[in-house]
Structure formats: structure tokens, C-alpha cells
Structure 1
Amino acid sequence: MTDETTAGIEPSISDYEVGQDNVQKFGLDFHNPVFGISAAVVIVFVAATLLMPGLSEEFFGWLRPALTAQFDWVFMMTANAFVLFCLFLIVSPFGKIRLGGKLATPDYSYVSWLSMLFAAGMGIGLMFYGVSEPMTHYAESVAATAGSPESWAPLAGAPGDVEASRRLGMAATIFHWGLHPWAIYAVVGLALAFFSYNWGLPLTIRSAFYPILGERVWGWPGHVVDTLAVFATLFGLATSLGFGAEQAIAGLNYLFGVPDTALSRVVLIVVITAIALGSVVAGLDTGVRRLSELNMGLAFLLLAFVFLVGPTMTILSGIFHNTVAYLADIVPLSNPFGRTDDNFRTGWTTFYWAWWMSWSPFVGMFIARVSRGRTIREFLTCVLIVPTLVSIVWMSVFGETAIFETIAGFTGVTDADLPVKLFVMLGQLPLSAITSVIGIVLVIVFFVTSSDSGSLVIDTITAGGKTDSPVPQRVFWAVFEGLVAIALLLGGGLASLQAAAIATGFPFAFLLLALCVGTLMGLRRELKSPFLETTAA
């Protein structure tokens, strides 16, 4: 790039290579200081949490409410900004830019691509909350509208109106699994893919800050960004793995009487981590892709079964009405200063947004790695809209079935603990022994796909953007993902997992806002540069 129009736009890759300072030791590709700092802090954290579980539980018990009560508006306003940013890019001239250049072609079919991004993005969460969240919001809305509507609910429900409570509960649920979380993932994935495939920069978070920081991105400012990305990814993953362990053990206890103890959860995490190691060693194309496709097949098989043998007409009606309710209520639900109670805003929405933000380096980088060849408009439409529609269908099928059973007089789902609500709901349908086992398998395989793909992402960041780093390095991060999840479960359970996700998601909210600015600056330059015309597939 030598003309005056584009002079100074192209990053200096030679400067990047000088700044990498990679050292090969013990079969690991050290990218100083990101790998060393990240590994050291994680090792110390695991050791301290396991050695002082009581103190850890007390600390995490204080941390979550302290952050959510004071900074809920930060998370909510930031998530709103991401949705608006994505919608703007879809309709703007930037949408025609192809990731990898005009000659680039997609590396994966639509089926494989959507399967991988969806399995990585929300698999465990949909299994854990598919029944429990709609039922929780519905039950609380019914209780509130039967007494004082002001006591709960992001929107007012008519006193005693069960149908209004149903729609309110479903709209609130879909809000947490729709456009907002996928917008968070999309901005990270787009930034990484664009700067990697169109600008030739490493596939790592710091690259998205090149338009802002310039060559300083290869120094300490970039090291800080990548190190924070490692922590956010690791703790976001640990939260999901902890949820998966809780639900799998609860299901095994419900079906087969397996003891629901801390030891059982630890053993399960160890076993699943060992399975994930095989997939990590196999790599993205062989291990992660095949497991993702297998799991999506099983997930849609279970979805189709519940739809057909459950209250089919109620579900069909619910999909339509729930979509309408979600779209009608998305603005008041998104308002951090609106008429919502503290539990809904801080206990649900703020936690979710923090979780998605801490999870975003992992999902964003994973999506970027499999999205070469897509236009920005195609990328954002598929990443934003398609998973939202699938989430609406998923939540409607499982949530409406559970609510239908409750209205019919079955109180088991309402009374059950969160991790076991899915299995209690399936217990009221035919072939419950088979479908419940499929549910457990889904949780476990989602567990595996999250662990192995997360290991590949953390490995890429700590290796300075390399996607072919040594296998022992991938194994190191896969093992420590499991250890962090174990440490948090033993040091306070789900509360500690949620607190860790919020703590790492908070600083990342500000980094993601800056990332959007850097992406927009890069896209504006791209439209003026020969990159758009000359970048080869």
C-alpha cells in the first residue's frame, strides 16, 4: 500500500513479529508476557481458592451483589449499544465488505458454521435455563399479579391474568437469550475476523485496537488487552462448565440416584475435561466441528420430540405470541432506569450481560475462526438473527410445555430446583427415561464442545494469535479450565461462578466499547483502501 490515500493504514507486520518475543520452552509457545502472566495468575487463583474455600465463598458472596447493585446500568447500556451498532452495520455500506477480501470463499457450509457458533455460544445455558427461567419468571409474575403487580416484573401484568403472566415470563426469558447476547458475541467476532482476514493481523483481541493504539498495540497496552481477554474467557467458561456440571449431576441424581455432592461434580468435571482433551488434540476441523454437529443434531431431535408429543398447538401459538411480546417489550426490558424490580434487573439481566461479556472473547474468536468468506452483512445477520430465532423456538417449546403442565395442575416443575426442572418436565412426557438421558448427554457434549473450543481460543490468545501452537499448550489450558471450574464450585458453588463471570465481564464492557470504535475506524479505512479489492481468499 503505497498511494497517498492509504499511506499509514496498513499495520506494520514486521513490528508485530519483533514484538511477539515468542520463546519455545517445554513444548509451549510462550508469548511474553501474556502467557506467563495469565498462567501464573490462574495457577495462584486455583491454589488459593482450593486452600481457602471458606474465605473464597465469603469473598465471592460479597462481590456479586456489590457489582450488580452499583453498576447494573453500565452492563445494560453497553449491551444496548452493541445491538444498535450491529443493526447499523447491517444496513450501512460497510455490510458489503467481505471477510478475507472479495475473492474469499466460506470455509464451512451454513450447517457446519451455524452448528459450531450456536453450540459454542449458548449450548449449556439453553439446557440449564430452557425450562427453569421461563418457569421462574412465570411463577413470580403470577404471584405478583395476584397481589401487587408493582412487586415484580419488568412490565405491568393485569392482576390475576394468567395469560399475561405467561407472555411476560416468556418475553423476559427471550430477552436474555435474543439479540443482546448475540450482539455482544457479534461485535467481538466481527472485529477479530475483519482485522485478521482483511488486515493480516494476528487473530487475537489486541488486533482490534490497532486503529486506536497504532504500533503501541504490540507493546504493553496490547499485552494488557490480551491478558484481560484470557481471564474473561477462562472465568466465563468456568461459569458455563459449572452450570453444566450442576445440571448433569442433578439429572443423574434424579434418574439414577447418583449422589448429588461436591465430589460428584468434581469427578464429572475431571471426566469431561479428559474427554475434551481428545477433541482439543484433534483440532478444530476434526474434533470441535464433529462434536458440534453431533450435539446440534441431538438438540434438535429433543426439540422436535417435545414439540410433537407436548402441547403442540400451545407451543405453535406461543412461538408467535412470544416473538411479538419480546419485540414489543424489548425497549422497556432494556431500560436500566425503567420499571423493573431489583431482582430481575440485577439478579438476572445484569448477570447475563456480564456473563456474555466475559464469554465474548471465547465465542467471538471462535466465530471469527470459522467465518472467513462471509460478508459483514451476512455475518451479522446470521450471527445476530438466526440464533435469536432458534432461541425463541427453543425457549417456547420447553418453556410453554412446562407452563402448560403447571396450569394443568402439575406442581413438580415449579417446586424443583433449577438444575433439575428440565428432567422433571420431561418426566411428564412419553419416553421420559430416553429423553432425559438424551438431555444429560446433550449437557455433557455441550460441556465438551465449550471446553475444547475454549481451550483453542485461550491458546490462540496466549500464543500471540497463532492457530497452530503446540499441542501441550492446548492441553495446559484445557486442564486449567476444569481446575478453575472445580475451584469455584468448591469455593461457593453457583454463586461464586456467577460472581467470577460478573467480575471479569465488568472491565470487558469498557474494552468492548473501545473495540467497537476501533472496528468502525478500520471499516471506514477499508472502504477507501485497496484491501477490499486485492485481499485474496
Structure 2
Amino acid sequence: MSDTNADQGIPAPEGSADIIDTDYEIGQDNIDGSLGPFGFDIHNPVFAISGIAIVAFVFYALALPEQAGSVFTWLFNTVTKTFDWFFLGAANIFVLFCLLLIVTPAGSVRLGGAEASPDYTYIGWFAMLFAAGMGIGLMFFGVLEPVYHMAISEPLGVPSPFNEAGELIPENVDAAKTMGLAATIFHWGLHPWAIYAVVALALALFSYNKGLPLTIRSAFYPILGERVWGWWGHVIDILAVFATLFGLATSLGFGAQQANAGLNHVFGLPIGPTMQVIIITCITGIALVSVLRGLDGGVKVLSEINMAIAAVLLLFVLFAGPTMVILSDFVTGLGAYLVDVVPLSNPVGRDDTGFVQGWTSFYWAWWISWSPFVGMFIARVSRGRTVREFVICVLIIPSLVCVLWMAVFGGVAIDQVVSDPANSAVKAQVIDSYNPPLSLFAMLEGLPLSSITSVIAIVLVIVFFVTSSDSGSLVIDTITAGGKVDAPVPQRVFWCVFEGAVAIVLLLSAGGLQSLQSMVISTGLPFTCVLLVMCFAIWRGLQAERRA
């Protein structure tokens, strides 16, 4: 690479695009855009290996569901118990790394170069960050998690407000309520968004400033050099595909179960694997229509509808519930989170192993598996921002949206539980019988117009379902096409179909929902190592950019 700066170890920004295109042909076929069978752009091993592996996985799980379920359960228990310290420690490193970028001179680097200007206004940019922060997870866990942590998991040893007979212990209520919200905010606050910020920053920096393809391997050019176009890069991108696919499949599984519960609650439709398979199949079909309509006609339109419906439901719950109590909970929970974030992040000597292993380890692996998906979305809308501006906004804006959502939905649910435990539908579905998919609808049942808001909630879950599937297939397609953002539609159709197929076979396996969680944990573990090395690559890239 004759125009490479030897000191920087990365392509010189001046005229780098042409040089990169030439070097990118090393070890790859069809970089000129010629298509293979069925209209697929199969120019490197990433698509072929990822596709074959996913197809083989689907057939294995369908052919031997009991054996697959046992394997998934073993994976979940082994990884969460053995590597909980690793997930917690790695997530702490990501937060500290992002804070370091804010306060060091590296934060002055502008994404896209010194003369680049933002593509979007602050309002438009914040709106898209807000959209990235919303997902099926907020619908599924918004009520479940605050109530569960308050009454059952007892993070940091804070006692439950209920005794073994299910009777309320008044003196424990305030502490348990506050910790339930703080523990939930911990899982949806700075740590997940630091994970997303690392991936998004790497993609934006090496794509906009260095002219490299928009794919995960590009972030490792400062470390691996030309080897990123060979098998080192292929392995990195394949890991990203697996992590993203299983992370999305998990979200689709949660969404199918919640939609099924809502349809049963409102319309009396049966609950079970058959109905959930039908739901996933129908939603995947709708997502395929969105895929065929393209980014602007599909994902963009659905995202705008999503945001509008979510805002309406949030405002309704806020004002139909005990508004002042909710606002107080928001402030109290946020304050408790800031006080307890360090002990909650501590990976050593914890007694609340159920909370650490069953919740935090899973969450961090889930966020890491989602990071290529969310990171690429954030990168594509953040050109022209300084690194400092980028990190501050990506950490704070979406975190506050998530905190508000949890405080509103979780706060109302907790108030229903502690104010009238004997008649609380939330207590019956979360504490007494533990029925997670029905927790949101149980909370809405305690508010006015529950028949209407429950239908709105079902629609919102379904729209989240569609946008996640469509956007996820776009990201996986981009990775498997070597960073091309205009890869052939048949490839996106392929990945969209197999996202749904993976979610179905994991739900049908003996492990059910735990099978989904097991695959997230398993793929998140090696990809955590990728992200840790990525931090070093970002630092080297930023230092080189400042010297350029």
C-alpha cells in the first residue's frame, strides 16, 4: 500500500478510498459487484460460512430439539456462572474508555474530517438516537424488571418488601422500591450505551475518516494492517454476524411471547409454541415487505410510526397513573443508580449471584450481541460530530429515555403492587406466578381504557418486531457484503427469513426462552473480546488522526 503512512499504520486520508478499494480485493472475489447465484453478492467467505452455519444450526435444532435444549441450558448455566466477572469487568472498561475519550484531547477529533459538518440537526439527531434506544426489550422488561428486582432478586442484599407468605413488610418497601428501579436503570443506562458507543465510534471513525468499508473488520486495521482483508478479518465479521443474528433472534422471541400473551389477554387467542410460530412467521412476512420497500420506504416509515405510538403510550401511562409518584420515582431511582452504580458494577465477591449471573451477565452479552446492529445505525447518522460530542450524546440521551421509560412503566407497576397487593394483577403475574410476557398487560389492566391501551401495546410490540427484523437484516447484509450499504435485496431477504427461522427453532427447542438467552450469552462471550481489542484500535486511530 504505497500511500500508507508507516507511522500511523492506517491509510492516509488523502485519496485513501481508491487505495482501499484496490487493497480490499486481496483474498476476496467479486469486489466489482458481480453477483453470484440467486442474486447474492458472495465475494468473500463471510456470507458463505455464516449462511451455511446458520442453516446447519436451524436443521440441528429442528431435528433434535430435546438434545439442543439440553445443550442450550448447559451453555447458559456454564457461561453465566463461569464468566460473569468477565462480562461485568468488560462493560466497566467500555464505560471508562468512553469517559476517557470525553476528557482527553482525542475527543476533539471530528468524524468525517476537520471540515465535516453534521448531516442532521441536534433535534433530528437526538430523535434518531431515541429511536435506536427503543426496542422490544423495553416493552418486555419495562414492567417485569423493576417489580422483579424489588420483590425477588434482592440486588446488593436489599430485602424484599414481601415475606414468604406474600404479605407486605412496610418498613422494607421504600428501600426495595428504590433498589428495584436503580437495578433496572443499571441494566439500561450507561453500560449498554457505552457498548454501543464503542462500536458506533469505531465504524464511524474508520469509515468516514479513513475511507474503509462500513464493517467491523475495518476497526482493526491499525492493529492487523492488510491482514484484515484475510482470514483475521473474516473471523471478526463472522463473529459479528453470529452475535447480531442471535441477539436479534432473542428479541424476536421475547416479542413473539409478549404479542402472544397480549392477544390472549385481549382476544382470547391460545398461548403456546404454535401460536408464537404463527406470529413470528407473519411478522417476518411483514418485515420482508419492508425489506423490499427499501430503507426510506420501509424502516424509516416504520420507525416514525414506532416512535409516535411509543410516545402516546408513555404519556398515557404517565398521566393516567400516579403522575407525581412516577416523577418522584424517576428522580429517586436515578439518584440511587448514580450512588449504587459502582457496587452494582463490581464483579468480585458478590452475594447476589442470581442478580449478577441471571440478569447482568445476560444483559451485557445481549447488548454486546446487539452492538453491531445499533452501532452501525448510530454511526450512519453521526457524521460531522466531534468524538466528545458523539460520546456524551450517545451515552446520555438514550440512557435518559430508557430511564424515563422504566421509571414510568416500572413505577406505575410497583405502585400497584405495594398500594393494593391483594388485588394487583402485576403481583399475580410477576411475583406470585412469574408470567413475564403478561406483565405489561397486567399493569395496563390497573389503568383506565385498558382494552384500548392493551391493543396499542400489541401493535407497538409488533412494529418493534418488524423494524428490528428489517434493520437487523440490513446490518447483517452489510457485514456479509464486506461493508456495502447497497448490497442486493435477495441477500437481505435471506437474512430476514433466517432471523425468523432461528427465533422459531430456539423457541421450539426444549429450553424455550432460555435457549434464546443461551445463544446470546454464547455468541456474546467471544465478541466481547473483539470489542475490548476494538477500544485499543480506536485509541490508535484517534491518535493517528490527531497527528495527520
TM value normalised by structure 2 = 0.91
Could you tell me which amino acid in structure 2 is paired with residue 293 of structure 1? E
Unaligned runs of 5+ in 1: 152-157, 530-537
User: Is the 8 Å Cα contact of residues 276 and 451 (structure 1) preserved in structure 2?
Assistant: yes
Deviation at 1:90, TM superposition (A): 1.6
Q: How many residues align?
A: 522
Q: Deviations over 1:263-319 (max 9, x none)?
A: 111111111111111222223233212211221111111111111110011011111
The equivalent of 1:412 in structure 2 is: 425
User: Is the 8 Å Cα contact of residues 426 and 442 (structure 2) preserved in structure 1?
Assistant: yes
Of 241, 250, 260, the residue aligned with 2:271 is 260
Q: Deviations over 1:93-120 (max 9, x none)?
A: 2222221123323334445444444444
**TM-aligned CA distance change 1:117 to 1:341, over 3 Å:** same
Alignment of 1:470-481 (within 5 A): 470-481=488-499
**TM-aligned CA distance change 1:38 to 1:141, over 3 Å:** closer
Of 54, 57, 77, the residue aligned with 1:65 is 77
The equivalent of 1:308 in structure 2 is: 319
Secondary structure at 1:55 match in 2: helix
* 1:317 partnered with 2:328: yes
User: Is the 8 Å Cα contact of residues 260 and 275 (structure 2) preserved in structure 1?
Assistant: yes
Could you tell me which amino acid in structure 1 is paired with residue 465 of structure 2? F
User: Is the 8 Å Cα contact of residues 362 and 457 (structure 1) preserved in structure 2?
Assistant: yes
User: Is the 8 Å Cα contact of residues 112 and 293 (structure 1) preserved in structure 2?
Assistant: no
Paired with 1:220 and 1:433, the residues of 2 have a C-alpha distance of 55
**TM-aligned CA distance change 1:111 to 1:124, over 3 Å:** farther
User: Is the 8 Å Cα contact of residues 158 and 179 (structure 2) preserved in structure 1?
Assistant: no
Of 78, 86, 102, the residue aligned with 2:90 is 78
The equivalent of 2:432 in structure 1 is: none
Q: Deviations over 1:439-498 (max 9, x none)?
A: 111111111111111000000010011001111111111111110111111112110000
Of 494, 498, 501, the residue aligned with 2:517 is 498
Could you tell me which amino acid in structure 2 is paired with residue 444 of structure 1? I
Paired with 2:491 and 2:438, the residues of 1 have a C-alpha distance of 36
User: Is the 8 Å Cα contact of residues 82 and 187 (structure 1) preserved in structure 2?
Assistant: yes
Of 508, 528, 534, the residue aligned with 1:515 is 534
The equivalent of 2:228 in structure 1 is: 217
User: Is the 8 Å Cα contact of residues 251 and 423 (structure 1) preserved in structure 2?
Assistant: yes
The equivalent of 1:455 in structure 2 is: 473
Secondary structure at 2:24 match in 1: helix
Q: Deviations over 1:120-158 (max 9, x none)?
A: 444110000000000101112689766899x9xxxxxx9
Paired with 1:215 and 1:362, the residues of 2 have a C-alpha distance of 25
* 1:397 partnered with 2:408: yes
Could you tell me which amino acid in structure 2 is paired with residue 130 of structure 1? G
Q: Which stretch shifts more, 196-205 or 91-100?
A: 91-100
Q: Deviations over 1:329-374 (max 9, x none)?
A: 0000000114441110100000000111111111112221222222
Paired with 2:182 and 2:71, the residues of 1 have a C-alpha distance of 34
Paired with 1:116 and 1:294, the residues of 2 have a C-alpha distance of 13
User: Is the 8 Å Cα contact of residues 426 and 435 (structure 1) preserved in structure 2?
Assistant: yes
**TM-aligned CA distance change 1:298 to 1:215, over 3 Å:** same
Deviation at 1:31, TM superposition (A): 2.7
Paired with 1:170 and 1:131, the residues of 2 have a C-alpha distance of 10
Paired with 1:501 and 1:319, the residues of 2 have a C-alpha distance of 30
**TM-aligned CA distance change 1:273 to 1:111, over 3 Å:** farther
Paired with 1:176 and 1:471, the residues of 2 have a C-alpha distance of 35
* 1:136 partnered with 2:148: yes
Alignment of 1:4-43 (within 5 A): 8-10=9-11, 12-13=19-20, 14-22=22-30, 24-25=35-36, 26-43=38-55
User: Is the 8 Å Cα contact of residues 152 and 160 (structure 2) preserved in structure 1?
Assistant: no
Deviation at 1:408, TM superposition (A): 1.6
User: Is the 8 Å Cα contact of residues 481 and 487 (structure 2) preserved in structure 1?
Assistant: yes
**TM-aligned CA distance change 1:113 to 1:451, over 3 Å:** farther
Paired with 1:355 and 1:71, the residues of 2 have a C-alpha distance of 14
Secondary structure at 2:41 match in 1: strand
Of 468, 485, 495, the residue aligned with 2:486 is 468
**TM-aligned CA distance change 1:327 to 1:471, over 3 Å:** same
Paired with 1:112 and 1:51, the residues of 2 have a C-alpha distance of 48
Of 340, 345, 364, the residue aligned with 1:334 is 345
* 1:275 partnered with 2:286: yes
The equivalent of 1:94 in structure 2 is: 106
Paired with 2:27 and 2:5, the residues of 1 have a C-alpha distance of 27
Could you tell me which amino acid in structure 2 is paired with residue 520 of structure 1? W
Paired with 1:334 and 1:109, the residues of 2 have a C-alpha distance of 35
User: Is the 8 Å Cα contact of residues 507 and 516 (structure 2) preserved in structure 1?
Assistant: yes
Paired with 1:411 and 1:47, the residues of 2 have a C-alpha distance of 43
Q: Which stretch shifts more, 206-215 or 47-56?
A: 47-56
What is the aligned-residue RMSD (CA, Å)?
Answer: 2.2
Paired with 1:207 and 1:96, the residues of 2 have a C-alpha distance of 22
Task: Give aligned-pair identity as a percent.
Answer: 62
The equivalent of 1:382 in structure 2 is: 393
Unaligned runs of 5+ in 2: 13-18, 430-434
Q: Which stretch shifts more, 429-438 or 195-204?
A: 429-438
Deviation at 1:2, TM superposition (A): 6.3
The equivalent of 1:229 in structure 2 is: 240
Could you tell me which amino acid in structure 2 is paired with residue 101 of structure 1? G
Q: Which stretch shifts more, 170-179 or 99-108?
A: 99-108
User: Is the 8 Å Cα contact of residues 133 and 398 (structure 2) preserved in structure 1?
Assistant: no
User: Is the 8 Å Cα contact of residues 203 and 219 (structure 2) preserved in structure 1?
Assistant: yes
Alignment of 1:91-170 (within 5 A): 91-140=103-152, 160-170=171-181
Deviation at 1:65, TM superposition (A): 0.6
Deviation at 1:74, TM superposition (A): 0.3
